[in-house]
Amino acid sequence: MDLTRAASVGGFFALRTAPVPEGAHRPLARLYAGETAPLTARIDRVAARLQAPERRVAASIAHLGLAARLWSVALGPAALFGQFPDIAPEALHWDPEHTSPDDLWLADPEAVPGTAERLREAVQYGHLVPLAAAMRRDGNISGRLLWGNAGSALAGAVRELVAWARTNSRPDVAHRARALGAELFDDPDLRTTGAPHTPAFRRRSCCLYYRCPAGGLCGDCVFDAPPVAR
């Protein structure tokens, strides 16, 4: 399992295996256990950068970015090598002040089988479920929106892998990415987030980015045009 090779797919697929100098990383397990200050700080930074009109808009964008990172660092190696690093919350460290690839580092990475079942256990149950709970402790945000973000992030990771496979003449990687994505979407929490369950995914909820002054519609947005305020 070559994590440097996995990082070549794109920035979201990069995963450090050593602490970032002068970083303030801490295990994500601490966030999930109730230490929400780092998440609050991250949402505050996103809100200021995007001039978000409501906190839940910034919370959604912050959540979407972290969900995309979590799917990517696991699904990428699984599609490329048939295994992925064990990203247990106790070992995966996060710093809200950094962006990829410096936001995450993994202590003592060990390879686990790259099956859909293991990916679901590691990413969906190990991270996305407790992350959603942490987001809702920070403020009022729809669970449907958060699962929509999770589905969008998964479809985006598959899309990036398929594009990389096409460029690098690796149809086997594209096949594994699509197959794993299809199995992962076959879950009650993800199945109804959008369709089709392919790189052409279109979500059934909105991440709210269009509400920012410089925002717009994402490529998989449920809307055809930004809603007009009444």
Helices 171-185/143-167 angle, 10° precision: 170
Q: What is the pLDDT along the chain (230 residues), one digit of tens a residue?
A: 788 899 999 999 999 988 888 778 999 999 999 998 999 999 999 999 999 888 999 999 999 999 999 999 999 999 999 999 999 999 999 999 888 888 999 988 899 999 999 999 999 999 999 999 999 998 889 999 999 999 999 999 999 999 999 999 999 999 999 999 999 999 999 999 999 998 889 999 999 888 888 888 888 888 888 777 54
- 73-91: b (≥16 Cβ within 10 Å) or e: bbbbbbbbbebbbbbbbeb
Angle at 134 between CA 63 and CA 14, to 5 degrees: 40
Nearest C-alpha neighbor of 31 from the set 118, 106, 137: 137
Structure confidence at residue 230 (pLDDT): 47
pTM of the model: 0.93
Question: Could you state, in order of their start, the residue ranges of all structural domains in the chain?
Answer: 35-86+113-211
